[in-house]
Amino acid sequence: MDWNKTKTIFIIVFAILNVFLYSLYVNRYTEVKRIDVQGETKIEERLKMDGITYPKLPEIETASFASGEVWVFDPKEVKDAKGQTLRLTDDRGTIVGVPKEPVSIKGEDGKLDFGGLLDKYVKNGSDYKLWKADEKKREAVFFQTIDSLPFYFNQSSTLTVHWNEALEVTDYQQRMMDEIVLFNQEKDLFPPIQAINALYSRGYLKTDSTITKVEMGYSPLVQLTKTQVFAPTWHIHVKLNDGTSEDFFVNAVDGKVLDKLPEQIIEEDG
Amino acid sequence: MRFSVLASGSTGNSIYIENDEHAFLVDAGLSTRKLEKLLGEVGRDMKALDGIFVTHEHSDHIRGLGVTARKYGVPIYANEKTWKAMDGLVGNVPAEQRFVFDMETVKTFGSFDVQSFAVSHDAADPMFYIFHENGRKLVLITDTGYVSDRMKGWIREADAYVFESNHDVSMLQMGRYPWNIKRRILSDVGHVSNEDAAVAMSEVVSEKETRIYLSHLSKDNNMKDLARLSVSQTLETCGIRVGEYVHLFDTDAEQPTELVPV
């Protein structure tokens, strides 16, 4: 038997086989890629077909988890208060403030402006961001922020303001977190279009609705002995056909749609 | 005695321990190439290994065992049930490299005394190791569903611990794992949570300088910062002030910890 010939035949046969297998692999790979592209287009197309529109989406790709400790107010702050009367709850976790002089929230063009209150009366007022102002109830809710990103519906970091008919603040209730830190490790985020898709595929998005806002914030994840841990969260604000609106929250790390967060309600826009 | 946690987590585990005479690995749960690289990063060589102690037969603990044994001729130590369970998983390990290390016994290698003890995990006969040298004690304890009083008796008053802090219970419960996996992790033969680990630590540490390396963190249900926060707060609740004499350290799935003396 001529082993050299046999060896050559084997090499040629296996070379041909390798080329064949490689071409199969390339075909399969291309098909899979094509399916992905079609899938992505489909989300956008299906939204379009249902008349659901959305704004330009944020391009944040990574974010860290965050943690914070509930601030316990110092009774000395109550004693030393200037221009307002302060009262602490029993657990010293909430401070209630009543300005001594009228503090107007009347802004330009009939809009509400809380700048005066936040700057002069509320501890670390600039850290709070307006979530909702209900003019009928005369109540505004603010969420504490880190790097301008709010902690959604976290009861330990919410500010509630009330006012009277003359648009003057009657009182406010503040809870605050301290020692807020971002975890070292950044996580890849679930893209906002996928967060919208998570809502759409679960039937949360109604036909002809308009997504007016997609923004990043934090939602409570874990409660440790002293500290709360927060997960990066997409907040998606949707305006419905009938004038009402809804807010949805999607965990930005694993894409899980969060149950309604505490106190979350459907707002009446009109 | 010096040690480095080369890698820790469900993707692969290996711990390097040495003194002036001997060098060992506990587990070889990564490919041989990866182990060579990680050991190189702490300035050590696989050729210098005197043995590998195996804890149990799960793939994240033995993935590179067979190849490493054959390539470097390193002696392998495991208990009989683990050897049986590893049959067909690690390929052929030459008879002269196969050694039986029974549960709850001590083997002496020069000035090293290596002690094995049982843990509670869903493997054939899982056990971990304690290294003693000149009155210093290094405890390795991961892959256990809980820390029993018997285990606490073995591991008490060490100078350094490589201690499992696998998951945060809420993250695991809310997470996407299927229920049967969640149930397995939370069971007595699964893995210990951050808080349970901390409670066990609080019962075994003494009032001397102690280094604790939080290890085998779940990729999906834990984070380094979360584990450290959770363990330190639970320890403080138990009256142990972290940073005073107990010091916590992270481990990583891909980066070795610094080679430090015990």
Going by C-beta distance under 8 Å and a sequence separation of 6 or more, which residues neighbour residue B114?
B24, B53, B101, B106, B107, B108, B129, B130, B131, B132
With CA atoms as reference, the chain B residue closest to A230 would be B226
Domain holding B247, by residue range, is 2-261
pLDDT tens column, B231-248 = 999 999 999 989 999 999
Residues of chain B with pLDDT > 90: what percent?
92
Q: How many CB atoms sit inside 10 A of residue A269's CB? A: 11
Using CB atoms within 10 Å of the CB of residue B146, give its burial: 0 to 12 exposed, 13 to 18 middle, 19+ buried.
middle
Could you give phi then psi for residue B216, rounded to 5 degrees? Answer: 55, 45
Q: How many angstroms from the chain centroid is the CA of residue A95?
A: 26
| CB contact (8 A) between residue B176 and residue A225 | no
Going by C-beta distance under 8 Å and a sequence separation of 6 or more, which residues neighbour residue B181?
none
Q: Strand, helix or coil at B228?
A: helix
With CA atoms as reference, the chain B residue closest to A231 would be B171
Q: Quick one: DSSP state of residue B193?
A: B
Hey, what domains does chain A have and what are their CATH numbers? 42-66+186-268 (2.40.128.690), 72-175 (3.30.310.160)
Element (H, E) at B139: strand B136-141
Element (H, E) at B59: helix B59-62
Closest to B191 (Cα-Cα) out of B173, B168, B211: B168
Q: What confidence score (pLDDT) does residue A238 get?
A: 95
- Residue of B168, B171, B225 with shortest CB distance to A184: B225
| CB contact (8 A) between residue A224 and residue B174 | no
**Cα atoms found within 13 Å of the Cα of residue A111, Cβ hemisphere only:** 7
| CB contact (8 A) between residue B229 and residue A223 | no
Going by C-beta distance under 8 Å and a sequence separation of 6 or more, which residues neighbour residue A162?
A138, A139, A169, A170, A171, A172
pLDDT tens column, B49-63 = 999 999 999 999 999
Q: What confidence score (pLDDT) does residue A267 get?
A: 35
Residue B171 contacts A where some CB pair is shorter than 8 Å: yes
Distance between B235 CA and the closest CA of chain A, angstroms: 10
Residue B225 contacts A where some CB pair is shorter than 8 Å: yes
Q: Which residues of B touch A183 (CB under 8 A)?
A: 223-226
- Cβ atoms B180, B128 nearer than 8 A: no
pLDDT tens column, B78-97 = 999 999 999 999 999 999 99
Q: What confidence score (pLDDT) does residue A43 get?
A: 86
Q: Strand, helix or coil at B46?
A: helix
Chain A interface residues facing chain B, Cβ-Cβ under 8 Å? 65, 67, 183-185, 221-227, 229, 254, 256
Q: What is the pTM of this model?
A: 0.82
Using CB atoms within 10 Å of the CB of residue A79, give its burial: 0 to 12 exposed, 13 to 18 middle, 19+ buried.
exposed
What would the DSSP string read from start to end of chain A? --HHHHHHHHHHHHHHHHHHHHHHHHHHHHHHHHHHHHHHHHHHHHHHHTT-B--PPP---EEEEEEEEE----HHHHHT--SEEEEE-TTS-EEEEEESS--B-B-GGG-B--HHHHHHTSTTGGGEEEEEEETTTTEEEEEEEETTEEBTT-GGGEEEEEE-TTSBEEEEEEE-EEEEEEEEEEEEPPPHHHHHHHHHHTT-SPTT-EEEEEEEEEEEEEE-SSEEEEEEEEEEEEE-TTSEEEEEEEETTT-PBPPPPTT--PEE--
Residue B151 gets the label, from left (phi > 0), alpha (psi -120 to 50) or beta, of alpha
| CB contact (8 A) between residue A185 and residue B225 | yes
Closest to A58 (Cα-Cα) out of A232, A182, A220: A232
| Total structural domains within chain B | 1
CATH number assigned to the domain comprising residue B229: 3.60.15.10
Going by C-beta distance under 8 Å and a sequence separation of 6 or more, which residues neighbour residue A59?
none
ipTM: 0.77
- Cβ atoms A95, A86 nearer than 8 A: yes
Using CB atoms within 10 Å of the CB of residue A173, give its burial: 0 to 12 exposed, 13 to 18 middle, 19+ buried.
middle
Mean pLDDT, range B179-201, rounded to an integer: 93
| CB contact (8 A) between residue A185 and residue B174 | no
For B259, the token pair is 């080679």
What is the Cα–Cα distance from A98 to A16, expressed in whole angstroms? 85
Mean pLDDT, range B180-187, rounded to an integer: 90
- pLDDT tens-place values along chain A, 270 residues long: 688 889 999 999 999 999 999 999 988 887 766 655 544 567 889 999 999 999 999 999 999 999 999 999 999 988 888 899 999 998 899 999 999 999 999 988 888 999 999 999 999 999 999 999 999 999 999 999 999 999 998 989 999 999 999 999 999 999 999 999 999 889 999 999 999 999 999 999 999 999 999 999 999 999 888 899 999 999 999 999 888 999 999 999 989 898 765 554 333 332
pLDDT, chain B, mean: 96
| CB contact (8 A) between residue B229 and residue A227 | yes
Q: Which residues of B touch A65 (CB under 8 A)?
A: 223, 225-226
